Chains A and B, each alone.
Chain A
Amino acid sequence: MAKRKKYDYSAFLFIAPILIGISIFYLYAFVRNIYLSFNDVGVFGERTFVGLENFRKLMEDPIFKRALLNTAFYAGVGVPLIVMLSVCIAWLLNQKIRGQSFYRTAIFIPAITLPAAIALLWRWLFNSQYGLINYFLAWFGVEPIAWLGDPDTVRWSILIVLVWAAISYMVIILLAGLQRISSTYYEAAQIDGANTWQIFFKITIPLLTPTIFFVTIVSMIGMLQVFDFIFLMIRVDTASYRYAVSLVTYFFETSFTLNQRGYGAAVSVISLIIIFAITAIQFRLQKRWVNYD
């Protein structure tokens, strides 16, 4: 009879510290947050069970509706922009050009810069009185634009920063994906007489779809969770904040500024459901356009 292999339990002891941390700060917090969404929770933890009352109030809350719309805007416009620009820049960086190392290093700088530093930088670039953007636009006779102070332009200003910051990391991922594509495909295409654009659209893009899919998923989740740039660049008590607020910034505002923690938990639960649903749809649809080896 073959000897049964003894199960080695020591591995669990090695991963126990990280598992315990994840259990406390993620799993327990996740479950507790859902529980709190059914309660009216005060700033110091005092609770009263209210059932679905928080969710009912959310459906009538104009600020929540505005946050939903804004988040849909950031995701709906931001993700295609990030994917398209990242693919183009990664493809350019994959060509044999002079200064390739410099460009690859330069494009990665936003990925290693703290969000707070990025927010501070762009806040001053966008400033209507002292910002460099308006300074250069004035050369062309353009009147100063209140990029962050004007409710009509604030969402676009935030979108510019979000896309600028996200592209950096996605380009690196796509560059790695491009370099995985075997050169034999390109050689065969060239022998068949394909030009640069035909090679790009018929060879490069189809073979890059698994990486593009990953970039789309990560960008979508990032856009649906946008918080730091809005929070750091716009004053919370201004009208333009209301036109830029996202689901997560509204969660922060209700939970920690207005001390309505149960209501804030309800916002985060709705946000979770939306992210989960969109991600599930994306995974479902991948069969139609993602080409795996």
Chain B
Amino acid sequence: MSATPAKSEYLMIFRGLDWHRGLAAEEIQKIMVDWMAWSDRLVAEGRSKGRRSLSGGGKIISGKDREVSDGPFAETKEAVAGYFLLEVSGLDEAVEIARECPTVPYGASVEVRPMPANCLASQLAAAPLDRIAEMLAGRAAGSPATSAEPAKL
């Protein structure tokens, strides 16, 4: 047993661009002040390592012909609005943080996704061929990839 448990990284994805619809300007500002206090506290506690918000526009590229169309990808309610990069002891702690998100009661959703220590692409590029199916099956079944080399931000 170690006194300092290992930390893992999680991406917290905020979804929904219209949580403020129907709210007064004063309410919106109050929620954003709460948001900044929450976000700044997580940074001060060393639990949030990065945070970015996205603009509402964008492009989408898809298909064999690599067609480009206007984004964002999902409808307003589901579109990605921003993210935090958390460093915490486990998925449970990340979910507890997600439950503190000030815009969730107004319709935003928060998706918490583990970030493997080593990216899947580099693992698949280097793995023996007879292990490929197993690695992807494990991914589908929900086990996070684990390996040494970091290839992250």
The answer to whether A and B assemble together is no
Q: List residues of A whose CB falls within 8 A of some B CB.
A: none
- B interface residues, Cβ below 8 angstroms from A: none
